[in-house]
Structure 1
C-alpha cells in the first residue's frame, strides 16, 4: 500500500508539473501574440503612411522653377511670377503627346477631377471644351466635347494610360419626360465642357441612412447658349462610362455644376450660367435607395431656384459701386414650379416666362444677373459657403471682375431660403491691372487658400494666376503664362491664352500641390483641335513661407 501511495504522489506531482509547464508555454505564446498585435497596431499606420509618402512627388526645391515630366515633350507653359519664389510648375502632358498606351492628349483641356487608385497612381478626369461637330468621333459615337480619363503615377507624373470616359449617353425626352434609349438613339454630339466638379463621395451618398450612390460622378455642362445641357458622367461602378443629361438642373450656357459635398439625404447643386451676364442657380433634390446612379444620387425630380441678391437685379447696372466685403442678403427664388424637366423647362422657355434677357427689378421672378458667372466651389472647411467668380470685362470703367461668397443659412433650403452674399475680391476696373482681371477658374483647399485664374481673352496681356487667403485676406500673384511663348507682336504660341481647370491635390499628392491646364487658343489640325497642356503646380503653403 505504501508503494501505491508513493506512485500516486509521483503521478500527481508529474501531472501538476506538466500542467504548469503547459500553462507557462501558453502564457508565453499569448504574450508573444499580444506583443505582435501591439507592434502591428503601432507600426502598420506608420508603414502605410511611409508608403503613401513614398508614392508622392518630392517637395520641390525652395527656389521653384519649371520642368517637364516624362510624358511631356515641352516644359510648362506657365512660369513663376518671380524668380526663387518657391512656385514650381511641371508639364505633365502637352497636346500631341501620348500616354504609355498610345492615347493622345487633344485640345481643349479644361475642368478636372481626380481620385486615388491606391497603387501609387491616381485617375484624372478631364473636360475637353470642343464645339459640337468639331474634333474626332469619340468612343460614344459623337464628336465635339468629351471627357478623357488618365492614369498618372504620383511620384513623377508619368502618364501610363489614357482613354475616353464616355461610352454611352442617355439624353432626355421632354415630351415623354423619360430618358431616350442610348442603345437605339442616334449618336450624341455635345459641346464645350468647361469647368468641372468631381464631387466628394458624400455629395451623393449619405452613410447614415444608406441613401444615394457610392459611384463617383463627374459633373459639368455645355457652355453654348440658352439651351445648353447639364450632364453627370459616371466614373466608377457598374454604370462607369455612362453619361446622363440632367434636365432638372435647367438649361443655360453652363460654366459648371457644383455639388454640395455633404448635404445628407438632400442633394444640392449650384449651376453657373456664363451666357453673357447671367444667373446662379440652386438645384435641390432627394437621394433614393433604388434606381440608377443619378436617381439614387438625387439628381432627378428635384426643384430649381435662382439667386436673387437684395437690390441687385443686374450687377452691371446696380452693382458698379460695390467694394470688397460689401454684403447683401439674398434669397433663393423658385423658378416657376421648380420642375425644369418638361417642354417649358428649356432655357428658351424659362427666359421667355421668368428670367428675361433685359433683367429689371420688375422681372416675373426676383433674380440677379451677374456680370458673367464663371467657376465656383464649396468651401471644404465651411459647408455653408460657396465661392464663385464673375469675369466681367478687361478695361471697361465701372465694371469689376469679382470673387463672391454665398453664405447660406441652410444649404439644403429646408429651414431657410436665404443667406448673405459678399464681395470677397473686387478686381480693378478700366485699365488698372493691379489686381485680378477677368477671373475665371477657381480651386479651394481645406487650408483656406483659393487659386484664381484669369481668362483675358484676346487682350494682349499675359494671363496670371493668383492666390487668395481666406483667413488673412491676402492676395498675391504666383504665376503667369511664359512671356517667351505668349508675348510679342509675333508670339511663338498665341496672345489668346488662359489657364483653367485648377484642383487642389493636397489629399493625393501632399500639401501645396495642384493640377491645372492651359488653353493656348491656336488652331491645330484634327484631331488635336487646339494647343494646350496639363501641368502640376506646387505652391508653398503660407505656413511654410
Structure 2
C-alpha cells in the first residue's frame, strides 16, 4: 500500500465452534467451521464465476483477539489440516488514522481450509516493537521452515526503513538492516542459485526522487540473515547501457543490466544509501511497489511501478519482469510487460502469482479515483488482461479511495482458483485494540481479509 502521509508478546487464543458428533465423523469442518465476519464483502466480483468470501473484518473479535485495521501483506502455509495465515497491519505512530501509540502489527490466523472460518488468532507483532508501516510480505519455505519477510515503508522513523525475517511457526524474528535502509514494499527470496538472493523494491513517493531496485546476495540463507559482510552484500540494479532509461522503454522492450555492490558503510542510513545508489548509476524508476516470484522460470520476478509522480517515465504505472542470470545472479535484465499508456490499468500496487496468472491490484491516485480500484488477471498463456474484482467503496467516498492489497495465491493450499487478499477501507473506521491489545480500546481505519475465487486462475 502507498500513502503520502507518512520477540512480541503472543496471546494465542483459539475459537472452537461445536458441532454434532455425527457430523464430525463425516466432515471435521462441520464440527469446527470457525468464525466468519458478519460484515458484507469489501470486494465485488467482476468476471463470470468469480466469488468473494469475506473472512474477517477490523473490529471482529475471537476470544481475546480483535482484528486491527489497514490489513496489507499476507503469507500462508499449511499446518496439518488447517491453514496458517500471517497478515500485516500497516500502522505507524507517524501515520494518521491509526490507534495512537501503535506501530506495525502482524496477525497470525488459523483458518479452516474448507470453510475459510477463523479457528484462532494472535498477534506475532503487537505494535510495540517500533517498526513503522509493514506493507507487502512474502512467506517462503526455506529448508522446510516457513519464513515471513517484510519491511518498513517509512523513513527515517521507526528503524529507518529496515526489514525483518520471522519464523512463521514460532514468531521469533530477526531485524535485517543489511537488506537496506529504504521504504520497503516487499522482500522476496529467490532460490535456485548457488548463492542466496533476495530482491526488494523501494516505494519512494517523493516528487523528483527516484525509486530503485535492490538485492542482497549471500553465500547462504544463514549468511543473508546474519548480515556478515564477509559472506554477503547489498546491491542495486543499473543498466549496462546508461543511455537506456525508463523514458526509452516501450512495451516489450528489454534493458540488460547488473547488480552493483553497496557497502554497509554506505547503507548506514536511508540518506547515505540513496546517495550511494545514485552515484553508482542505479536505474531510475518512478515509484516501485510490489514484486512477486514467477512459477514458470527460476530467477524470474514481476514488479510494479505505480507511477503517480510528475516528471518520471510513467504516470499511471507499469508492470516489469526481472530475469536473473542463473549462472551469475549479479546479471539481470528488465522487460516492460504492461504499460498503462496502452493497457487498461492505473497505478498498480500489489502483485500475486500462480502458475497461470499474475494478479495486479490497483491503488488509484487522483484523478484516477473516479473509477474503482480493481484486481486484474494477466494470463501468462495468452497475454490477456481481465478485471476480476473491484473494491466495494461506500459513498460518499470516490470509488477509487479504497484499495485491495496483499494478494497471494491459495490454490495450492485450499484448492481451485482461490486467492487471499486484504481490503483497506480508507474512509471508514472501526473499533480495534490500542497499545494494550485490549479489544475496543481504540479506533482506527477499517479493513477486511477476503478469499477470492477466480476460475482458471
Q: TM-score, normalised by structure 1?
A: 0.68
Secondary structure of the 2:370 match is coil
| Greater fraction strand | 2
Q: Which residue does 2:42 correspond to in 1?
A: 77
User: Does the Cα contact within 8 Å between 1:110 and 1:126 map onto a contact in 2?
Assistant: yes
1:147 and 2:106 correspond: yes
Residue of structure 2 aligned with 1:96, choices 38, 44, 59 = 59
Residue of structure 2 aligned with 1:428, choices 341, 348, 367 = 341
User: Does the Cα contact within 8 Å between 1:146 and 1:164 map onto a contact in 2?
Assistant: yes
Residue of structure 2 aligned with 1:326, choices 248, 253, 263 = 253
Q: Which residue does 1:518 correspond to in 2?
A: 423
CA offset digits 1:317-363 (Å, max 9, x no partner): x423532211111111112xxx32x58532211223x234xxxxxxx
Taking structure 1 as reference, are residues 321 and 348 closer, same or farther at Cα in structure 2, changes over 3 Å only?
A: closer
User: Does the Cα contact within 8 Å between 1:166 and 1:233 map onto a contact in 2?
Assistant: no
User: Does the Cα contact within 8 Å between 2:286 and 2:314 map onto a contact in 1?
Assistant: no
> What's the offset of the Cα at 1:308?
0.8
Q: Which residue does 1:408 correspond to in 2?
A: 324
Paired with 1:272 and 1:56, the residues of 2 have a C-alpha distance of 40
CA offset digits 1:249-308 (Å, max 9, x no partner): 1110111111114445x32110111013410101011227xxxxx558565542011111
Paired with 1:254 and 1:468, the residues of 2 have a C-alpha distance of 24
Taking structure 1 as reference, are residues 151 and 313 closer, same or farther at Cα in structure 2, changes over 3 Å only?
A: farther
Paired with 1:269 and 1:246, the residues of 2 have a C-alpha distance of 12
> What's the offset of the Cα at 1:157?
1.1
Structure of larger gyration radius: 1
1:109 and 2:67 correspond: no
Taking structure 1 as reference, are residues 329 and 480 closer, same or farther at Cα in structure 2, changes over 3 Å only?
A: same
Q: Which residue does 2:293 correspond to in 1?
A: 378
Equivalences for 1:58-69 in 2 at 5 Å? none
Residue of structure 1 aligned with 2:350, choices 421, 441, 447 = 441
Cα RMSD for the two superposed structures: 3.0
Paired with 1:312 and 1:472, the residues of 2 have a C-alpha distance of 33
Residue of structure 1 aligned with 2:307, choices 389, 392, 395 = 392
1:454 and 2:362 correspond: yes
1:225 and 2:155 correspond: yes
Paired with 2:310 and 2:38, the residues of 1 have a C-alpha distance of 36
CA offset digits 1:469-494 (Å, max 9, x no partner): 12221111111122xx435xx24x97
CA offset digits 1:54-93 (Å, max 9, x no partner): 7899xxxxxxxxxxx95111221111225xx111111011
Paired with 2:139 and 2:71, the residues of 1 have a C-alpha distance of 16
CA offset digits 1:152-201 (Å, max 9, x no partner): 11111111111111379xxxxxxxxxxxxxxxxxx631110000001132
Taking structure 1 as reference, are residues 392 and 312 closer, same or farther at Cα in structure 2, changes over 3 Å only?
A: farther
Q: Which residue does 2:199 correspond to in 1?
A: 270
Residue of structure 2 aligned with 1:122, choices 83, 99, 106 = 83
| Greater fraction helix | 1
Q: TM-score, normalised by structure 2?
A: 0.81
CA offset digits 1:101-153 (Å, max 9, x no partner): 3411111100000011112x11100011011367559xxxx831011110111
Secondary structure of the 2:413 match is helix
Paired with 2:92 and 2:126, the residues of 1 have a C-alpha distance of 19
Secondary structure of the 1:380 match is coil
Structure 2 unaligned spans of 5+: 1-26, 433-441
Secondary structure of the 1:508 match is helix
Paired with 1:442 and 1:55, the residues of 2 have a C-alpha distance of 33
Paired with 2:294 and 2:379, the residues of 1 have a C-alpha distance of 12
User: Does the Cα contact within 8 Å between 2:353 and 2:359 map onto a contact in 1?
Assistant: yes
CA offset digits 1:387-408 (Å, max 9, x no partner): 1010002999963411111111
Taking structure 1 as reference, are residues 297 and 225 closer, same or farther at Cα in structure 2, changes over 3 Å only?
A: closer
Taking structure 1 as reference, are residues 96 and 416 closer, same or farther at Cα in structure 2, changes over 3 Å only?
A: closer
Paired with 1:253 and 1:472, the residues of 2 have a C-alpha distance of 34
Q: Which residue does 1:178 correspond to in 2?
A: none
1:86 and 2:49 correspond: yes
Aligned pair count? 406
Secondary structure of the 1:195 match is strand
1:481 and 2:391 correspond: yes
Equivalences for 1:149-228 in 2 at 5 Å? 149-166=108-125, 188-201=129-142, 205=143, 214-225=144-155, 227-228=160-161
Paired with 1:324 and 1:56, the residues of 2 have a C-alpha distance of 47
Equivalences for 1:458-473 in 2 at 5 Å? 459-473=369-383
